[in-house]
Amino acid sequence: SHPMLDYQKDSIRSKNFMEAANAVMPGGVTANIKYFDPHPLAMKEARGSKVIDMDDREYIDYVMGYGALVTGHGDERVKKAMTEYIENHGTWLFGTPHALEIEMGKRIQTHFPSMELLRYTNSGTEATLLALRMAAAYTGKHKVAKFEGHYHGGYDQMLVSVSPSMKEAGEEREPNSLPESKGIHPSHLRNTVVLPFNDLKACERILTEHRDEIGAVMIEPIQSGFIPPDLSFMKGLRQITKELNMVLIFDEVKTGYRTCLGGVQSIYGVTPDLTALGKAVGGGFPFGVVGGKRDILMQSAPSHGSDVFDASQSKNKTAQDVLFHSGTYNGHPMILAAGMAVLDILEKEMDVLLQRTNQLKQGIQEIFDRYQVNGKVIGMGSIFSVVLSPKGKIRNYRDLQKSDLATRKEIDFALLKRGIYLKPLNRYSVSTAHTEEDIRTTLTAYEEAIKEVYG
C-alpha cells in the first residue's frame, strides 16, 4: 500500500514553492480555486490517472483539471490529433473559417440536438456570458435569475448569490442577492435575482413577480455537478420560463460529456433554450460552446441570414442590429482537434467510464455503511461528491453548507496522505484513464482513511 504522507514534512518542496510563488502572485496562485490551507500541493508531472508533486509523491488524481480532463492526463490520442493537425495544416491558427468548426459542431449537435446552431468561446465563463447577452437581446429584458450557490464563471453579473457566512442569506425560499466578491458593482445585486434550487413553488412566485424584467434563467442542471434536481422541478421550471417569456439556459459546463454523452438535458428529457458547454468538451484546453434555438443564435449572424455577409455593407443593418460576439481564438483549430479526439474516445468509452465511476461510488458508500458513517455518495455520471450529513436527501446549497464539512476535510487529508488526490472539499472527477486497479487502490485507501478519522 501507499507509504503514508506526513503532510507537513513530506510536502516541504510544495511549501517552499508556495512561499516563492507568493512573491510573484497574490497568495501564490493565479486562480483562487487552486489554494487550500495549510498550502496546496504543487505538481510537476502527470500521466494518465496519476499526478506527481514536487516532493516526488504520486497520487491518483480525482481533480482532473476540475473535470476538464475526461480522458486523463496526456492522452496519446488527443496528443496525436493535435500534432497531426499542425503537420497536415501547417499552422495552429487561421483567424478565418475552417473545416473543423463545422465537423465539431455537427458532432456536438448529434449529442445535443437542442443546439440548432452554436458558437465557440474560449472558456465556460465566456459561454455563459454570451448566453446571457443572447437572452437579453432576444427578450428585451435585462435582469437575470440564477440559483443559490450555482457557479457560472467569475464575472460580476453571476458572482451574486451566497456569502460564505450565510448570515445575510435570507429566507431559504427567498434568498438574498449578495456579492460573492469584493468589487462587484451594486447594480448587479438588483439585476441578478437569486432562486432556491429544487423549490418550484418559490421559483414560480419569484419569477412571476419579476416577469417583466427577467429575460434569462440560468441553472446548473445538476448543482455543483453533483446535486441532482427532482424531475418535477426541472419540468416545472421549463414550463414556467416558457410561459413568462424567459430564456432557460442550462449551464452544462461541468455536466456536459460527463453525466453522459447528451448531458443532463438528455437524462431528464428537458430541453433548454440555450446550453453552455466547457471543460470536458475542450479536452483540457480553454474552450466553451453556446448553442440552442435557431432564432436566439441567429441574432449574432453578421448578415442576419440575408445574402450579405458583411454587416458593414448591409443596407438595412447597423452594428447595433447584430449581437456582438467575437474573439481572436474562437474555434481554435488545435482545441477543436483535441475536442474531436475526446468525443471519439467518449463515444467508445463512456459506458466503461460510467461503470467504473459507479464501482467507485458504490465502494465508498459501502464503506460508509459498514462503518456506520453518515456519509452519502451523490452525483451522476463521472462526477460525484461525498456529503456527510444525517439529513435524508441533499437538495440544495444550504443542505450542503449544513453538512459536516470539517470531518469531510479530515477524510480528504487522510486520503491525501494515502496517495489519493482531491482538493479538500471538492468533487471527484473520474476519467477514462482510471483503471480498475486505481479504483481498488482508492477504496483501500478510503477504508483506511475512514478508520483513521472515525477510529
Binding site for ligand PLP (CB under 6 A): 66, 123-125, 128, 151-153, 220, 251, 253-254, 278
Residue 4 amino acid letter: M
| Cell numbers found for residue 222 | 445538476
> Closer to ligand PLP at the Cβ: 278 or 331?
278
Determine whether 37 is an active site residue. Answer: no
**Min dist. Cβ of residue 288 to ligand PLP (A):** 6
**Min dist. Cβ of residue 153 to ligand PLP (A):** 4
Which DSSP string do the residues of 301-365 spell out, in sequence order? -TTTTSS---GGG-TT--GGGS-----TTTT-HHHHHHHHHHHHHHHHHHHHHHHHHHHHHHHHH
> Closer to ligand PLP at the Cβ: 49 or 128?
128
**List 199, 251, 399, 412, catalytic entry:** 251
**List 15, 50, 279, 293, catalytic entry:** 279
* Pair 236, 204: CB distance under 8 Å: yes
**Min dist. Cβ of residue 279 to ligand PLP (A):** 6
Handedness of CA 110, 111, 116, 122 (dihedral sign): negative
* Pair 227, 396: CB distance under 8 Å: yes
| Cell numbers found for residue 18 | 508556495
Determine whether 279 is an active site residue. Answer: yes
> Closer to ligand PLP at the Cβ: 39 or 279?
279
**Min dist. Cβ of residue 354 to ligand PLP (A):** 20
**Min dist. Cβ of residue 118 to ligand PLP (A):** 16
Q: How far apart are CA 455 and CA 451, in angstroms?
A: 5
Mapping DSSP onto H, E and C, the string for 254-271 reads CCECCCECCHHHHHHCCC
**Min dist. Cβ of residue 154 to ligand PLP (A):** 7
* Pair 400, 387: CB distance under 8 Å: yes
> Closer to ligand PLP at the Cβ: 234 or 253?
253
Give the residue carrying C-alpha cell 497531426: 84
> Closer to ligand PLP at the Cβ: 17 or 257?
257
User: With left for phi above 0 and alpha for psi between -120 and 50, is residue 115 left, alpha or beta?
Assistant: beta
At 77, is the secondary structure helix, strand, or coil?
helix
> Closer to ligand PLP at the Cβ: 367 or 430?
430
Determine whether 454 is an active site residue. Answer: no
Residues 6 or more apart in contact with residue 15 via CB below 8 angstroms: 8, 38, 39
For ligand PLP, which residue has the nearest CB?
A: 124
Active site residues: 151, 251, 279
